[in-house]
Amino acid sequence: MTVRTLAGVLVIVLLLSAVVPLHQQMVALHDTYPTEFRSYYIPSSAYLKVACLGQDNFAADLIFIWSIQYFDRYKQNVRDTYLLHTYDVITDLDPRFYEAYIMGNLFLSLDKRWDMLYALSDKGIAADPKDWLVAWDAGTYAFFQAHNYAKALKYFHIAYARNPKRPILKDMLANAYKYQGDYESSLHYWQSIAQEYAGQEEHQASYFRFAAERNIFDLTIKIDLRNLTSAVAMYRQAKGAPPPTLQTLVSSGYLKSLPVDPDGKPYLYDPKTGAVTCQTPFKFRGKFGQW
C-alpha cells in the first residue's frame, strides 16, 4: 500500500469518526426544536437543487432511504406535515420517482391524512401523463379506506383512461359507482365487462364475467325497486293514498311499464303500506366457489 493510499484511507476514517458524533449532535439539537419547525428538517427542494450540484436523482434517493428509516420517530401531530414536506422535496428533485409517491401515500394513509395523500398523488399524476399506477394507488385508498367514492372515481377514471386494457380498472369503476349510489352507471360498466368476456373460459375472464353477472342481477333489482318505490311515493303525494296495484302506476302515467326481476317474476306490492319487494333474492349465478 502506497503512502498516498494509506493517507487517503486515514482521511476517510477520520471523516467517518467525525460524522457520527456530528449526526448525534444534530439529532439531539433537532429534538429541542419547537414542533412547528420539525417539518423543515429536510431543506427545501430549491436549496437542494443547488447544493447537490446537479445530482438531483441521487439526492432524491438518499432522502427517500432516510425517510423510510426515520419517519416514525416523529409524533403524529407533526409527522404528517413532515412526511408531506419530505416527499414533496423528493418528488421535486425526481418528479417521476414512482416509489416515492407510493411510499408517501402509504405513510400518510396510516394517519388517515387523505387531503395530503390526494395532493401528493395529484402531483405524481401530473408529473407522468403515461403512468397509471399512482392514480390506481390513490383510488384504492379512497375506495377501501377513506370510503370517498367520488375521489375513487376520479382516480380510477384517470387510471382507466391511461391503461384501458387493465380489466381491474373497469371493475373498480363499476364498484365505485355502485357504492356511490349511481346504480345506472355501475350497471353500464358491469354490462360492458360481461359482454367483453362473454364465452371466454380463461381464469381471469371467468372471474370478471362471474362478478359482472352477479352485479348485473343485483343492480337490476336495486334500480327497479328504487323506480317503483319512487313512483308509489309520487302517486301517494298526488292522491293521498298508495295505489291499489302497481299496474295503476302505469295506467295513471307514473310508469311506462312494469318491470320484472331478472328471473322474470313480478315484484311484490303491499297496497296497505305501499311497500315494494322482490320475491327473488340476490343469488350467485353459478356454483359457489367455481368460476
Phi, psi dihedrals of residue 268, rounded to the nearest 5°: -85, 145
> Is position 180 within any domain?
no
Rounded Cα distance, 172 and 114, in Å = 19
pLDDT in tens, the chain (291 residues): 576 677 767 777 776 676 667 667 766 766 665 554 454 567 888 888 888 888 999 999 998 988 887 766 656 666 666 788 889 999 999 999 999 999 999 989 988 999 999 999 999 999 999 999 999 999 999 999 999 999 999 999 999 999 999 999 999 999 999 999 999 999 999 999 999 999 888 888 999 999 999 999 999 999 999 999 999 999 999 999 999 999 999 999 999 999 999 999 999 999 999 999 999 876 554 443 333
> Is position 64 within any domain?
yes
| DSSP symbol at 36 | G
> Is position 89 within any domain?
yes
Domain range holding 116?
42-134
> Is position 169 within any domain?
no
> Is position 189 within any domain?
no
The answer to whether the CB of 174 falls within 8 A of the CB of 190 is yes
How many other C-beta atoms are found inside a 10 Å radius of the C-beta of residue 220?
19
pTM for the whole thing?
A: 0.79
Count of the separate structural domains present in the chain: 1
Residue 67, domain CATH = 1.25.40
Specify the 3-state DSSP secondary structure of 159. helix
